[in-house]
């Protein structure tokens, strides 16, 4: 009887973890192979905004690319990954200093997970007296973890002064985070730390460096349309044209 009760409890927990509705605070979608996109939500000025992030399952453990925006989902994400893949999270890369990316550094570091950022991100977090990553990496660096190799690349200023992207050459997966706007985006969104003129140059660098991506993961909204990088450049051009006309 106890065994039966335990099985039922396990099934309930698994159902709660994977039976995701559009109202679930943590939503996980399979991308391709061992790649997954997860979505969390945050109340921003009275509106619930979604944030996309990615994790990769390797034979050495799971790598997170950015933490949940919703702090209440820090532990549930770990629990869900463990239940689903039977592996521990071993690394976390923060793609820039904003809360929807680097907000989990302290929590995950205390869990024994290695946390990474570039020096620019570390400098910003230090100046704000916010938790920082344990390890500082160069602006352009290759990593091999288990069976996967990927490149962390800083293209220059854009959405934030320190935004990086992650490229998987073999799989043609580009994780752009907030540097890349969704193809559904109507504008560039939050520009409090942005440098739009440099953003244009930075986008062009990414387009030249990482050819023909099959998947592009954006920081917010829908990520399934691979025109998102081109759309971001279009939004940047429109913004700069508008600002130029206002000066005349």
Name which of 226, 232, 231, 218 is nearest 52 in CA terms.
218
Q: How many domains does the chain have?
A: 1
Q: State the pLDDT at residue 22.
A: 66
Q: State the pLDDT at residue 57.
A: 98
Q: State the pLDDT at residue 211.
A: 94
User: Counting runs of H as helices and runs of E as strands, what totals does the chain give?
Assistant: 7, 12
**Spatial CB neighbours of 229, under 8 Å, sequence gap ≥ 6:** 174, 176, 180, 203, 206, 207, 213, 216
Q: State the pLDDT at residue 10.
A: 40
**Spatial CB neighbours of 44, under 8 Å, sequence gap ≥ 6:** none
Specify if 15 maps to a domain: no
Specify if 151 maps to a domain: yes
Specify if 4 maps to a domain: no
Name the pLDDT band for 20 (thresholds 50, 70, 90): low
What does the alpha-carbon distance between residue 248 and residue 244 come to, in Å, rounded to a whole number? 7
Name the pLDDT band for 9 (thresholds 50, 70, 90): very low
Range of the structural domain that residue 93 is part of: 25-247
Name the pLDDT band for 21 (thresholds 50, 70, 90): low
Element (H, E) at 223: none
Beta strands in the chain (DSSP E): 27-32, 35-44, 47-58, 61-65, 89-93, 114-118, 135-137, 140-145, 148-153, 165-168, 173-177, 215-218
Specify if 20 maps to a domain: no
What does the alpha-carbon distance between residue 223 and residue 29 come to, in Å, rounded to a whole number? 11
């Amino acid at each position: 009887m106890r065994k039966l009760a335990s099985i039922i409890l396990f099934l309930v927990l698994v159902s709660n973890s994977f039976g995701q509705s559009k109202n679930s605070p943590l939503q996980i979608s399979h991308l391709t192979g061992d790649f997954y996109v997860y979505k969390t939500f945050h109340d921003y000025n009275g509106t619930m905004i979604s944030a996309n992030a990615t994790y990769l399952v390797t034979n050495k453990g799971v790598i997170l690319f950015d933490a949940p925006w919703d702090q209440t989902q820090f532990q549930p994400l770990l629990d869900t990954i463990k239940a689903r893949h039977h592996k521990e999270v071993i690394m976390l890369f923060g793609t820039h200093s904003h809360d929807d990316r680097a907000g989990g550094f302290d929590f995950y570091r205390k869990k024994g997970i290695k946390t990474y950022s570039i020096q620019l991100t570390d400098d910003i977090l230090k100046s704000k007296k916010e938790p920082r990553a344990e390890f500082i990496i160069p602006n352009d660096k290759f990593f091999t973890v288990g069976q996967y190799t990927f490149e962390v690349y800083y293209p220059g200023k854009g959405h934030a002064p320190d935004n990086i992207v992650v490229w998987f050459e073999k799989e043609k997966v580009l994780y752009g985070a907030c540097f890349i706007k969704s193809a559904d985006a109507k504008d560039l969104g939050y520009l409090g730390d942005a440098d739009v003129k440099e953003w244009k140059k930075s986008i062009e660098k990414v387009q030249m460096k990482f050819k023909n991506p099959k998947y592009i993961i954006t920081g917010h909204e829908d990520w399934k349309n691979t025109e998102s990088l081109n759309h971001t450049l279009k939004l940047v051009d429109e913004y700069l044209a508008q600002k130029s006309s206002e000066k005349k």
